[in-house]
Amino acid sequence: MQKLNCKEVSVLLSQTEDRRISLLERLRLRAHLKVCVGCMNFQSQLNFLRRAIRQHPALKDEDE
Amino acid sequence: MDARETNVSDALAGQDQLAAHRDYLYRFALLHLRDDSRAQDVVQETLLAGMESRSGFSGRAQLRTWLTGILKHKIIDVFRRQSREAPLQTEAEAESEEDFADLYFNPKDRDHWHTFPTTWGNPEKSLEQKRFWEIFDACSKEMPPQIARVFTMRELMGLETDEICKELGITANNCWVMLYRARMNLRQCLETRWFGNSS
């Protein structure tokens, strides 16, 4: 199975948020993330960003 | 009160009722449109629409939800128009995949980040800090217009790729490239300016 480099992983991680990825893509991702802390951190950070945006102060209803 | 008085006082009460939501709607619009006068315009239109077809809402929350729904549609209308009227990409948006990748990865093998993403620890704590959001907003402002539109529609409004493509007249791939760039830049900006990892 051809290995992904970090750049390809960053692109794929971003795309997992917007489309369904294939089994092969998932396997290749997992193989890379097992051995790459940088990309693992990147993944957590993407997840965090997604959650964070939805809690932007401007969206808060002051009466809630 | 006779019928005329009832209608006038109804109308005035209605205006007050709607005005109570103006601030919230304006903040919402400004966050999405990033432009003060456009935000004011869509809020005005929304409140007008509210005046015209206001029916009995049982509570403030219901009315706010309804008005916000109208506002979202008007925001999407603005995005659709802007996207179709400004088809020329900015320099940042037209950057090739290679050039963009060089910003973040070693050109030789793309298997090394220029700045290795560190761990952010417990980033949720940051969400309670005003200063974090000031930096977040500053970082968001750097997004080029079309990228900002796509990012807003996806992340703030929760639209799916195909809906975004339909409204803005772009391909799915365009959409994903722009979201990727938005996320990469935003992430780096926050890491540099807040979570403390200067490149």
Q: CATH code at B102?
A: 1.10.10.10
In this prediction, residue B199 carries a pLDDT of 42
Number of domains composing chain B = 2
Q: Could you give the C-alpha distances from B87 to A8, A27, B79, B153, in angstroms and in order?
A: 28, 38, 12, 18
pTM: 0.90
B63/B155 same-domain check: no
What element of type H or E holds B63? helix B60-85
pLDDT band at A64 (very low <50, low <70, confident <90, very high): very low
What is the tens place of the pLDDT at every residue in B160-178? 999 999 999 999 999 999 9
Confidence class of residue B180 from pLDDT cuts 50, 70 and 90? Answer: very high
Quickly state the pLDDT bin for B54 (edges 50, 70, 90): low
Which tokens go with A59? Answer: 């969206």
> pLDDT value at position B5?
57
Lowest mean pLDDT among A10-14, A37-41, B69-73, B110-114: B110-114
B193 contact partners, CB below 8 Å, separation of at least 6: B135, B138, B139
Residue B48 vs residue B186, higher pLDDT = B186
CA dist list (Å): B180 to A38, A59, B176? 17, 24, 6
Asked if B176 and A15 come within 8 Å (Cβ–Cβ), the reply is: yes
Q: Are residues B65 and B123 in the same domain?
A: no
Q: Looking at B24, B59, B85, which one is the last position of a domain?
A: B85
**A21 to chain B, closest Cα gap in Å:** 13
Q: Are B119 and A39 in contact (CB under 8 A)?
A: no
**pLDDT score recorded for residue B11:** 67
Which residue is it, tokens 């493509």? B165
B117 and B77 belong to one structural domain: no
Intra-chain end-to-end CA distance of chain B, in Å: 71
List residues of B whose CB lies inside 8 A of any A CB.
24, 27-28, 30-31, 60-61, 64, 101, 104-105, 109-113, 116-120, 123-124, 126-127, 130, 133, 136, 154-156, 161, 172, 175-176, 179-180, 183-184, 186-187, 190-191
Question: Per-residue pLDDT for B135 more than 50?
Answer: yes
Q: Per the CB < 8 Å rule, is B180 touching A14? A: yes
Q: Which of B125, B127, B147 to mutate to test the interface with A (most CBs of A within 10 A)?
A: B127
Q: What is the pLDDT of residue B8?
A: 67
**In Å, how far is B91's CA from the nearest CA of chain A?**
20
- Residue ending a domain, among B39, B68, B85, is B85
Structural domain of B29? 3-85
Q: Minimum mean pLDDT among A22-36, B90-104, B124-138: which range?
A: B90-104
Tell me the pLDDT tens digit for each residue of B70-111: 999 999 999 999 998 876 677 777 789 999 999 999 999 888
Look at residues B22, B25, B20, B29 and name the one whose alpha carbon lies nearest to residue B156.
B29
HSE, side-chain direction, 13 A CA sphere, residue B144:
16
> How many other CB atoms are found less than 10 A from the CB of residue B126?
19
Eight-class DSSP state of A21 = P
Mark whether B67 and B103 lie in a shared domain. Answer: no
To the nearest whole Å, the CA of B12 is away from the closest chain A CA by 23
Residue that finishes a domain, picked among B52, B85, B118: B85
Answer whether residue B7 shows pLDDT above 90. no
- Residue B113: strand pairing partners: B105
Cα B32 to Cα B71: distance, rounded to the nearest angstrom = 10
Q: Do B187 and A45 touch (CB under 8 A)?
A: yes
Distance CA B43, CA B29 (A): 7
Compare all CA atoms of chain B with the CA of A19 and give the residue at the minimum distance. B161
Same domain as B125, residue B52: no
Residue B140 near residue B186 (C-beta atoms within 8 A): yes
Rounded distance between C-alpha atoms, residue B156 and residue A50, angstroms: 9
B20, pLDDT greater than 90: no
Distance separating alpha carbons of residues B23 and A49, to the nearest angstrom: 26
Provide the residue count of chain B. Answer: 199
Q: What mean pLDDT is reported for chain B?
A: 89
